[in-house]
Amino acid sequence: MFRIQLIVFYPRQISSSNFPFSLNGKNKSLKASTRYVPLEKPSLYISKVFPPLWRDSKQEARMRKDDSTNWLRQSEQLLHIQDHDFAMRPGFGGLMVLMVILTRIPTGFDLHYWKDERLSFPSTTNKSMTFDHRLIKKIWVPDIFFVHSKRSFIHDTIVENLMLRVYPDGNVLFSLRITVSATCFMDFSRFPLDTQNCSLELESYAYNEEDLMLYWKQGNKSLNTDEHISLSQFFIEDFSASSGFAFYSSTGWYNRLFINFVLRRHIFFFVLQTYFPVMLMVMLLWVSFWIDRRAVPARVSLGITMVLTMSTILSGMSASMPQVSYIKAVDVYLWVSSLFVLLSVIEYAAVNYGSNSTRQARYFRRSDAKPNSTTSQLCFLGCLLNVILHFPNVGISSYLSHRAVVNGGVNGSETSASCKIAQRRGSERIAASTRINNHVIDTYSRIFFPIVYIIFNLFYWGIYV
């Protein structure tokens, strides 16, 4: 919360006699009693109307500037800034120690501690003195930078967020608020069920290990953060501090500080946007196993619709996912689900092809039996016509296989009885054959596809989660 204080100056006494002009209420025009001042020159106008107030404001601004200059000059005299060359680091010729504390992650408050005896000053109360950004430009500060930084800046609202605190013995506390955008090398082989390890690395740009030593002042406690940190895509599971060295062939070894983060990706978004819709598409296609095989438009349109829907989901995910050259976890799930959709379409093609092949084979097997007489042929045709009238939805191939029984009858009674027996047996076999042809592949598919898909999901979520 910010508090802005506005200071308004008013003259001690304002009356109509104090104003060198009068206000006409009709036309809202200004009439000067002594001299007309055009409004195009507001400074001259104000100086004519309130000359004491205008002069006082300019004097107060000049006095404030002088006070600021005097305060800065006194601070420089107190810290003996003019007596030393602050272009050189403290303790030149020996090893300097710099302690670092990083607070308020991720808003970014960086605290540096070091000792510069050149800034020591006498004090009876042993209290520190705090200075702003104006004095920081006149003394030595460490050249710490973030190694893998892409973009960084120091906050400057309302002024630069810098603070310098100097103790009488020369210990210095330097604090700044900085925001850093850094690179992190991630492995997306388990995306979006992945956990990433990222780090921020601090290092001195000019001073190697012989000149400057960096270390965390309080170990892991040097990293202080607000509770319940949550990013848009990740949970921060853990963060820790460590230190190490970095070698450069041209300049040598440098001290380096590490801030290690363990980031776990939010999965709920991907479950709602990817996994759950794909799972519904696969399960919806299993409905076709309960549709009659003769309903060709219904089963074909359902299969084609699911294939197009899966291709749309795949293209949408490919556009939003990281572009890497290896297989990700979400790719495995999407392509296996697409394979189940494709197999469901192929299953109906197999059912339709198998039914047509069986019907044609039974029709061509009737050629091995020959009729004995014209009467038996007529009886055969009558029985065949009777079967067609009673069973219009089935083929005649099953009945044709029983024409030998019909042909064995000689007289009318035997022929009629034979026709009835052949008709009954043929109808039973035709119904049984039709029932088997309609459900043998679909029946197994109703059980096989769900079981295999459930087993795949168990293995998938067990391995990647």
**For residue 361, with 0-12 CB atoms within 10 Å meaning exposed, 13-18 middle and 19 or more buried, which class applies?**
exposed
Position 428 in a domain? no
Question: Do residue 130 and residue 208 come from a single domain?
Answer: yes
Bridge pairing between strands 109-115 and 171-182 = antiparallel
Residue at 76 is within a domain: yes
78 & 175 share domain: yes
Q: In 3-state terms, what secondary structure has residue 74? A: helix
Lowest mean pLDDT among 56-60, 126-130, 411-415, 453-457: 411-415
Answer yes or no: do 209 and 283 share one domain: no
User: Which residues fall within 8 angstroms of residue 121, CB to CB, at 6 or more apart?
Assistant: 78, 79, 80, 129, 166, 168
316-356 pLDDT, tens per residue? Answer: 888 888 888 899 999 999 999 999 999 999 998 888 887 76
Quick one: pLDDT at residue 21?
A: 40
Number of domains in the chain: 2
Rounded Cα distance between 94 and 452, Å, is 71
In a domain, 40, yes or no: no
Query: Does residue 359 have a pLDDT over 60?
Result: no
Report the chain's mean pLDDT, rounded to a whole number.
74
Q: Which residue has the higher pLDDT, 417 or 456?
A: 456
The answer to whether the beta carbons of residues 265 and 234 sit under 8 Å apart is: yes
Range of the domain at 343: 269-366+439-464
Say how far apart CA 153 and CA 366 lie, in whole Å. Answer: 91
Tokens 């820790």 -> residue: 240
Task: Tell me: pLDDT of 30 over 70.
Answer: no
Q: Does a structural domain hold residue 96?
A: yes
Whether 130 is in a domain gets the answer yes
Look at residue 284 in the predicted model and tell me its pLDDT.
92
Do both 216 and 291 map to the same domain? no
**408 pLDDT above the threshold of 80:** no
What average pLDDT score do residues 395-405 get?
Answer: 49
Q: Are 329 and 190 in contact, with CB atoms under 8 Å apart?
A: yes
pLDDT digits 0-9 by tens, 273-283: 899 999 999 99
452 and 342, same structural domain? yes
Whichever domain contains 306, its CATH number is 1.20.58.390
Judgement on whether residues 359 and 301 belong to the same structural domain of the protein: yes
pLDDT at 197: 94
Is residue 143 located within the same domain as residue 289? no
Cα separation, 455 vs 124, in Å, equals 78
List Cβ<8 Å contacts ≥24 apart for 272-276: 274/192, 274/313, 274/317, 274/330, 274/333, 274/334, 275/333
Is 117 inside any structural domain?
yes
Share of the chain above pLDDT 90, in %: 24
CA distances, 344 to each of 104, 121, 309, 441 (Å): 55, 85, 14, 11
Separation of alpha carbons 28 and 217, rounded Å: 70
- The answer on 210 and 278 residing in a single domain is no
pLDDT at res. 256:
94
Asked if residue 19 is part of any domain, the answer here is no
Closest CA to 346 of 338, 357, 335: 338
Query: Is 260 a member of any domain?
Result: no
Same domain, 226 and 105: yes
| pLDDT above 70: residue 39 | no
**Could you tell me the sign of the dihedral formed by the alpha carbons of 118, 121, 126, 130, in that order?**
negative
User: What integer pLDDT is reported at residue 117 of this predicted model?
Assistant: 86
Residues 89 and 175 both lie in one domain: yes
Of 314, 319, 307, which Cα lies nearest the Cα of 335? 314
Q: Which of 111, 164, 123 is nearest to 140 (CA)?
A: 164
Same domain, 322 and 459: yes
pLDDT for 195 equals 94
